[in-house]
Amino acid sequence: MNAVVYDRPRHFEVTEVPTPEPGPGEVRLRSSITGVCGTDLHIHEGGFFAAYPLTPGHEIVGVVDRLGPEVEDLQPGQRVAADNTVLCGRCDFCRRDQPLFCRNFYSLGVNGPGAFAEYVVVRAEKCFPVEDLPLDVAVMVEPTACAMHGMDVLNLRPGSDVLLFGAGPTGLVMAQLLVHGGAARMTVAAPTAFKLDLARSYGVDETVQVDRSDPPAAAARLKGMTEYGFDVVIDATGSAAVVEQCVSLTKDGGTVLVYGMSGEQDRVRFSPYEIFRRELTVKGSFAQTHCFDRSIAALRSGRVRTDGILTHRFGLTEFGSALEALRSDRSCLKPAIVPDGG
């Protein structure tokens, strides 16, 4: 089969590799569509605990092609979304019901073979049938699951005044979950007009177009929207300069959620006294486990809408173009790889 293969950071090729065979409890999927996200840019640079050689691709939708031994609940021909996380179940964190901190965390497309390939092997119990969802909706199951986990971490107090920086795919999904999950006012701040238009169409109350190259000026504009600050301020950009503005925009007793992924070497400056004196809470949200069922339910119900999010499709051999579009094409909100070019 053909697959994207990195032998080291920043160096990949689309090449012929052996077609994988499913083992006990596994299935082989023929890739239908795999989302490309900011994490893939970090992996390209060698970040996010990537292990090489590597075939990336963690937002997986495919058709069951072959069953391994001991698989009974799936049938060839079924279209599924696959949860890319594999947990050991035996380390201290797994045994204390904190699986996201599994010491042996195995993630397809990050430190295990992913779906930027014609075929990918996954655990059968990680497959969720999605025949009823269009492909451009099904490809958003994994990003929506990550936003679901962010909501779990945030534990939003109903009636909160919420500010979210960033209108990328998962930022737009999280904004919708917040709208339906108790925010009295939901504000999204981002630099790109068409993304803010999408946010408004999804039910966001306020949108503010900001210049990310000047975060202090953006913060000054947003401070004028409240008397004392926002109850919750969320960064979904991964920009350290934006994160640094979040504390000053948060009301006394409020919460900052770091949801976007920054680089491992990025640093921000907070005043410990300000955190102490104002009793602020700073939380982080990393990936997801066990959120796919709720993610699919939200997409099926229409509570989370995805129309307009998938903007670009690329064939497998165009993987480099997909990365470049995500990195620098301002018209690109979310690209995806469709191996057959469809």
> Do 141 and 128 contact (CB within 8 A), yes or no?
yes
123-145 pLDDT, tens digit per residue, is 999 999 999 999 999 999 999 99
C-alpha distances in angstroms, 94 versus 48, 88, 91, 98, 294? 21, 7, 5, 5, 21
The better pLDDT of the pair 28, 218 is held by: 28
Confidence of residue 61 (pLDDT cuts 50, 70, 90): very high
CA atoms within 13 A on the CB side of 203: 17
Confidence of residue 264 (pLDDT cuts 50, 70, 90): confident
275-291 pLDDT, tens digit per residue, is 999 999 999 999 999 99
User: Cα(63)–Cα(121) distance, rounded to whole angstroms?
Assistant: 11
* For residue 342, pLDDT beyond 50: no
Chain center to CA of 265? 20
152-167 pLDDT, tens digit per residue, is 999 999 999 999 999 9
pTM given for the model: 0.95
Helix axes 169-180, 141-154, angle to 10 degrees: 50
Q: Give me the CATH code for the 2-140+309-337 domain, please.
A: 3.90.180.10
Percent of the chain at pLDDT exceeding 90: 93
User: Cα(180)–Cα(182) distance, rounded to whole angstroms?
Assistant: 6
- At the fourth CATH level, the homologous superfamily of domain 145-284 is NAD(P)-binding Rossmann-like Domain (3.40.50.720)
Which pLDDT belongs to residue 215?
79
User: Cα(302)–Cα(317) distance, rounded to whole angstroms?
Assistant: 33
Residue range 69-81: average pLDDT? 96
Which pLDDT belongs to residue 237?
95
Confidence of residue 340 (pLDDT cuts 50, 70, 90): confident
Lowest mean pLDDT among 4-8, 46-50, 109-113, 271-275: 46-50
Domain regions of the chain by residue span: 2-140+309-337, 145-284
